[in-house]
Chain A
Amino acid sequence: MHDSQTTTVEHEAHNPALLHHFADAQQQKNAASLGMWLFLVTEIMFFGGMFCAYLVYRLAHFNAFAAGSQQLSIWMGATNTAVLIVSSVTVVLAVKAAEAGKRKLLVGYLVVTVLLGMTFLTVKGFEYREKFEKHHVPGPTFKFTDTFDDNGKQIPVNPKEAQLFFSLYFVMTGMHALHMIIGCGLFSVLAVLAWKGHYTPGYFTPIENAGLYWHLVDIIWIYLFPLLYLISRHS
């Protein structure tokens, strides 16, 4: 309620990053931060539509979803989860480095983050290749005969329902991977700008906001991993 009442403008007059329509740098920073959080809410709702579809179909076609889930590589999924968690740590350390004005450290963390993001995407690529080889990609070539679970027990599965699982798998992980690609691009640009010295302890909002985005993409994966890979191992 009182956030817009800061009126001292004098000492801000020479800040090159301050846009004309803001009273001071703090107001600008607060606006950017709230804007980013609202954007993250739209991302939650965007993925929420797919989570809703997943929930509904998992309840409707339980056996098929279990059988489909057991065909995913739990180890690749777990590796990718670990990679993303480490990248979240490097992002938060990058923000800390920016806050402390340590330019080289900041660039270093950003580069490591991008590399970790690319590692994730590479592993994801191998997973997708495996799906092509096993004819688990929905479409005319789709085949699903793997109706035995890990204990050799047969699960009665309608291939069309299993195809639905893989449709959702590809849409959800694909949309997540798209966000990862955007994030990698974002951090690459920020790394270059940081190297050129665009960010100071007084102004590093873009690093913070890109970090928020990256953490949200991480959180979405934290849910995708158990939902797609784990919870149907025993059913």
Chain B
Amino acid sequence: MSENAEHTSHSQGFYIAIGIGLLVGTATTVGAAFVNLGPFNPIIALLIATIKATLVVLFFMHVKGASEKLTGAVVVSGFFFLAILLTLSLADYLTRSWR
């Protein structure tokens, strides 16, 4: 693996294109915030944020095309345990009858 480890780098234009994509995402999410979509406002905002974060992780942080799956596993496990913290805490808060 020592030969082919570091060929995950893309062209300069590609990175700038991703950057522009992220800026467009930001503009979209700001625009969407001014439109009343009811319960969909937070959903859309967080969806766009997740897409942006995924782009950064995959291309800027080179998880896509990484020479081994371990990096991806580390990232996924980080978010997985964060999800455990959030969902099990909410399992309490969302089911309290006395609130």
Contact = CB atoms under 8 A, between A and B. Distances in A.
A–B: direct contact at CB < 8 Å: yes
Interface of A: 2-3, 6, 24, 26, 29-30, 33-34, 37-38, 40-41, 44-45, 48-49, 51-52, 55-56, 59-60, 74, 78, 81-82, 85-86, 88-89, 91-93, 95-96, 99, 211-212, 215-216, 218-219, 222-223, 225-227, 229-231, 233-235
Contacts of A225: 26, 29, 49
B46 to A, nearest CB: 6
Contacts of A99: 6, 9
A37 B16 CA distance: 24
> Which 7 pairs of residues, A with B, have the shortest CB-CB distance?
A89-B19, A41-B78, A226-B45, A231-B42, A26-B2, A230-B33, A234-B36
Interface of B: 1-2, 5-6, 9, 12, 15-16, 18-19, 22-23, 26, 29-30, 32-38, 41-42, 45-46, 48-49, 52-53, 56-57, 59-61, 68, 70-71, 74-75, 77-79, 81-82, 85-86, 89-90, 93-94, 99
B15 A92 contact: yes
Nearest to B78: A41
Nearest to A235: B41
Contact of A234 (B37, B56, B68, B78): B37
A74 B30 contact: yes
A225 B28 CA distance: 13
Contacts of B60: 88-89, 91-92, 211, 215
Contacts, number: 139
Contacts of A29: 5
A85 to B, nearest CB: 5
A216 B57 CA distance: 8
A97 to B, nearest CB: 9
A33 to B, nearest CB: 7
A77 to B, nearest CB: 8
A223 B82 CA distance: 14
Nearest to B19: A89
A45 to B, nearest CB: 6
